[in-house]
Every structure is written in structure tokens, then in C-alpha cells.
Amino acid sequence: MHSPVQFSRGTDIGAADEQRLVAEVLAKDRKATAEFVARCADWLYSFVRHRLAPRTEIVEDLVQEALLAAWQGLPSFRADANLRSWVLGIARHKVEDYYRRRIREAESSEEEDSAPQLAVMPMFEQQSDSAIQQERVQATLALLPEAYGLALLWRYRDGKSAREMAQLTGKTEKAIERLLARARENFRRRWNDVRR
């Protein structure tokens, strides 16, 4: 017997428990399914929200997409895998799909723009309080066109190279570099607006 319906939220459970949970979800047990949702939802929500902040309006849709994809893929879940890592791997793909779609959609208008001027701009001043600095980064990102914000996050937070971004979006590396240059210019301008 295992403890019913009281979910130990967000914590990793043992491999045997995970296997039991997966088997019961695959057998369409409603209570096991509730436990699966309670566990995965917290993992997915944190992960997706962090990657889309400050634009959070799409978070719940992506969490649902990732959860349903995880459930569909459960038959391939291996006994030696960790459920959390496995589920977040699926979420990572969903988030990247979203980045890719949004950046690709921005393509037509971007291509028409001329290349940005590579003006010599002052460095961002160092903020002693990193929490305040991160709030300012969020506030600045919120003011940017979505494709610019996502491109910056993909490049500088997730560490994707311009070449990888180009491959993933089907754009040329040059086009991605132009997009990033425009995004950086916009970010700098907005950064100063936020300060005021």
C-alpha cells in the first residue's frame, strides 16, 4: 500500500516509486494520474516560466503541451532514467519549438529592415544588487518585441550559438546575427528607459 492522494510535491521520489507511478498511469489509474500531474506540474511550471519570463501568457499552454507529450511518451520511459529529468527534457524541446516558431515568424519583417548601425554604446553600468539588476533585465525584456527578447534569451541565457539558432529556425546565420544585433540595440535603448 502507498499513501493515497497526499502528494509529496516537487520532490524527487525513488526509482522504484517512479516505476510504480509510471506503470499505474499507463494502466490508466485515475489516482496515479493525479499524482503524476501533481509532481510534473510543479517541475514543468518552474522550468517553462523561467524560460519565457517576462512573457508568461503562454506558460500554461506550454506546460499542458509538455505534460501531454510526456504522458504520450511514457511507454518509452526507461527504468534507469530519472522522471524529472526526462519530463524536463520534453519541456526543453517544447520551449525551443516555441522560440523557433516566434523567431521564424518575425522573419519577414526583420529581413526588410536594414542592418542596424553598430554604434559604439556605453557598457551597462554594474549594479551592485544582482536581484535589482535581474528585475531590470525582466522589465527591459518586457518592453522588447517578443522575437527580440526570445533571441536574446536563447543566445545569452541558454548559450545557443548564432549557427545553432540559424539551424533550428531555418534562417541564415547572417539573418540571426542581424536579428541579435537589432535585439541588442533595442535592449540597450530600453534599458535606459527603464532606469528613468
Partner 1 sequence: MSGVDFEKEFGLLFSGREEASERAPSSLKARLYSALIRKQQESGPLASLDESVALGHAICVFEKLVQIAPVGEKAKSPFFCQVCHARVLAEHLDNPPIFWPHCPYVAFKNS
Gap between the Cα atoms of 137 and 117, Å rounded? 23
Nearer to partner 1, 39 or 102 (CB): 39
Nearer to partner 1, 43 or 98 (CB): 43
Gap between the Cα atoms of 182 and 196, Å rounded? 22
Least separation in angstroms between residue 135's CB and partner 1 is 11
Least separation in angstroms between residue 16's CB and partner 1 is 14
Contacting positions for partner 1 (CB under 8 A): 1-2, 4-7, 9-10, 24, 27-34, 36-38, 41-42, 44-47, 49-50, 53, 60, 63-64, 67-68, 71, 120-121, 123-124, 130, 133-134, 137, 152-153, 155-157, 184, 187
Gap between the Cα atoms of 190 and 54, Å rounded? 15
- Closest among 195, 158, 165, 194 to 180, alpha carbons compared: 165
Report yes or no: 25 and 74 within 8 Å, Cβ to Cβ.
yes
Query: CB neighbours (10 Å) of residue 52?
Result: 20
Least separation in angstroms between residue 20's CB and partner 1 is 9
Question: If you search the block for the grid coordinates 506546460, which residue do you land on?
Answer: 63
Helix, coil or strand: residue 138: helix
Omega of the bond leading into 75 within 30 degrees of 0 (cis): no
Nearer to partner 1, 101 or 156 (CB): 156
Nearer to partner 1, 86 or 124 (CB): 124
Least separation in angstroms between residue 172's CB and partner 1 is 18
Nearer to partner 1, 152 or 165 (CB): 152
Least separation in angstroms between residue 192's CB and partner 1 is 14
